[in-house]
């Protein structure tokens, strides 16, 4: 365990979205219902670290990220940045902190304004935050940001429009725009899933380089292959909970939770000789409105026992796992 406090620390985060009952629903006094998007998530992220938040659609990984960005309001829990809880802060107090936690989205075709040249797209955040000093200094910061994402020499790109760039180059511009504010934390929400395979590695290597320089990265992804290659830690989410979490290689090579095991078994391997028997879970991504009792994974779990329908397991370190590797399963003997 590191001695210094983590840069970002999320504790017992709960986010629910109310479901609108509609006029008839409220007139007939139907009970209010919620989507339980995130139900008690804790995680920590240090400088120079990439944490991959992995799981299927609807597991709450993006909601967790949005809460960290303070784009949605949690029902409870805390989000401490350098020890200071962001949850009770109002928009005025948040403003100076927002520049320090930046985000890159999945689709660089959507996230860049088609009418903005690269120069303007990267400068815009500086103008909004009234940062970067004089016009000349701002121009320098824009250049520096482009160089950091390996769009160099920057002169080649400054005056281009998004449509004149490839998908990979657009995503680099989006990263540069986030970097212009010199953030401490970067949330990357599926940063390469829209890109061609041939350019994904380039963008991921850029993020890896930034991490090595000290940036803390929270990467949301459904791709375990990418997670194990680039992240230091992996947290696997299922239905609003983290079910397993630990050092990336430990989670992938020595998975403990039945859900992680199943998820890993269905990841296609590039070597046809590595074809393995996938352990396919039946049914669909579960409904976050009606959460199962006990362990929320038990209805799809291949090894569930009766107790799993009653008892809700907490994250703990299994006997067979290394330090800092935790899983939430009743069937795992703990230390």
Partner 1 sequence: MTAPLLQIEDLHVWFDLEDGGELHAVQGVNLSLEPGERLGLVGESGCGKTTTALAIMGLLPPSASVSGRVLLDGEDILAGGEAAIRPHRWVDIAIVFQGAMNSLNPVRRIGDQIVEALELHGRAKGDTARARTSELLESVGVPAGRASRYPHELSGGMRQRAAIAMALSCNPRVLIADEPTTALDVMVQAQILELLDGLCRDFELALVLVTHDLPVVAQLCNRCAVMYAGEIVERGPLETLYHEPGHPYTRMLFAASPDLGMGDEPMLSIPGAPPRLDRPIDGCPFRARCDSAFADCIVRPRLLPIGEGHDAACHLNTRVPA
Helix axes 197-212, 167-179, angle to 10 degrees: 20
The residues of the shown chain that bind partner 1, judged by CB under 8 A, are: 56-57, 166, 168, 196-205, 222-226, 228-229, 252, 262-264, 266-275, 278, 280-281, 284-285
* Residues 217/186, Cβ–Cβ less than 8 Å: yes
Torsion angles phi and psi, residue 300, rounded to 5:
-110, 0
CB 22 to partner 1: min, Å: 17
CB 284 to partner 1: min, Å: 5
Cα–Cα dist 237/260, whole Å: 9
Select 34 or 285, whichever has its Cβ closest to partner 1: 285
Select 158 or 228, whichever has its Cβ closest to partner 1: 228
* Residues 250/325, Cβ–Cβ less than 8 Å: yes
Please enumerate in sequence order all residues whose Cβ is within 8 A of that of 134, keeping only pairs 6 or more positions apart, or say none: none
Select 61 or 99, whichever has its Cβ closest to partner 1: 61
CB 161 to partner 1: min, Å: 17
Peptide bond into 48 cis (omega under 30): no
Which H helix or E strand runs over 25? helix 22-27
* Residues 230/218, Cβ–Cβ less than 8 Å: no
Cα–Cα dist 147/61, whole Å: 30
Residue 49 DSSP one-character state? -
Select 11 or 107, whichever has its Cβ closest to partner 1: 107
**Strands 8-19 and 33-45, how do they pair?**
antiparallel
Select 102 or 256, whichever has its Cβ closest to partner 1: 256
Cα–Cα dist 167/106, whole Å: 11
Select 56 or 182, whichever has its Cβ closest to partner 1: 56
Select 278 or 324, whichever has its Cβ closest to partner 1: 278
CB 253 to partner 1: min, Å: 9
Cα–Cα dist 37/257, whole Å: 21
* Residues 170/106, Cβ–Cβ less than 8 Å: no
CB 111 to partner 1: min, Å: 18
CB 110 to partner 1: min, Å: 15
Residue 31 DSSP one-character state? P
Select 101 or 228, whichever has its Cβ closest to partner 1: 228
CB 70 to partner 1: min, Å: 27
CB 162 to partner 1: min, Å: 15
């Amino acid at each position: 365990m590191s001695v210094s406090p983590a840069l970002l620390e999320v504790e017992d985060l709960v986010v629910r979205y109310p479901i609108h009952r509609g006029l008839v629903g409220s007139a007939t006094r139907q009970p209010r219902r919620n989507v339980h998007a995130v139900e008690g998530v804790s995680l920590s992220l240090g400088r120079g670290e990439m944490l991959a938040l992995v799981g299927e659609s609807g597991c709450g990984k993006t909601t967790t990220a949005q809460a960290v960005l303070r784009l949605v309001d949690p029902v409870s829990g805390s989000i401490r940045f350098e020890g200071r809880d962001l949850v009770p802060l109002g928009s005025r107090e948040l403003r100076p902190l927002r520049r320090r936690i930046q985000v890159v989205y999945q689709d660089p075709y959507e996230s860049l304004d088609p009418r903005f040249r690269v120069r303007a797209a990267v400068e815009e955040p500086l103008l909004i935050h009234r940062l970067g000093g004089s016009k000349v200094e701002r121009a320098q910061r824009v250049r520096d940001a482009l160089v950091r994402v390996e769009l160099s020499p920057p002169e080649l790109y400054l005056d281009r429009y998004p449509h004149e760039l490839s998908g990979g180059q657009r995503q680099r511009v989006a990263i540069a725009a986030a970097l212009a504010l010199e953030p401490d934390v970067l949330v990357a929400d599926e940063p390469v899933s829209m890109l061609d395979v041939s350019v994904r590695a380039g963008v991921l290597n850029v993020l890896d380089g930034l991490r090595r320089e000290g940036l803390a990265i929270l990467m949301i992804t459904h791709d375990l292959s990418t997670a194990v290659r680039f992240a230091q830690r992996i947290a696997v989410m299922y239905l609003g909970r983290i079910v397993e979490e630990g050092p990336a290689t430990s989670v992938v090579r020595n998975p403990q939770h039945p859900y992680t095991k199943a998820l890993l078994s269905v990841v296609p391997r590039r070597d046809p000789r590595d074809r393995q028997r996938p352990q396919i879970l039946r049914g669909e991504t579960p409904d976050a409105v009606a959460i199962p009792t006990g362990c929320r994974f038990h209805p799809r779990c291949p090894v569930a026992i009766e107790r799993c329908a009653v008892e809700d397991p907490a994250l703990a370190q299994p006997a067979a796992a290394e330090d800092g590797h935790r899983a939430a399963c009743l069937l795992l003997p703990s230390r």
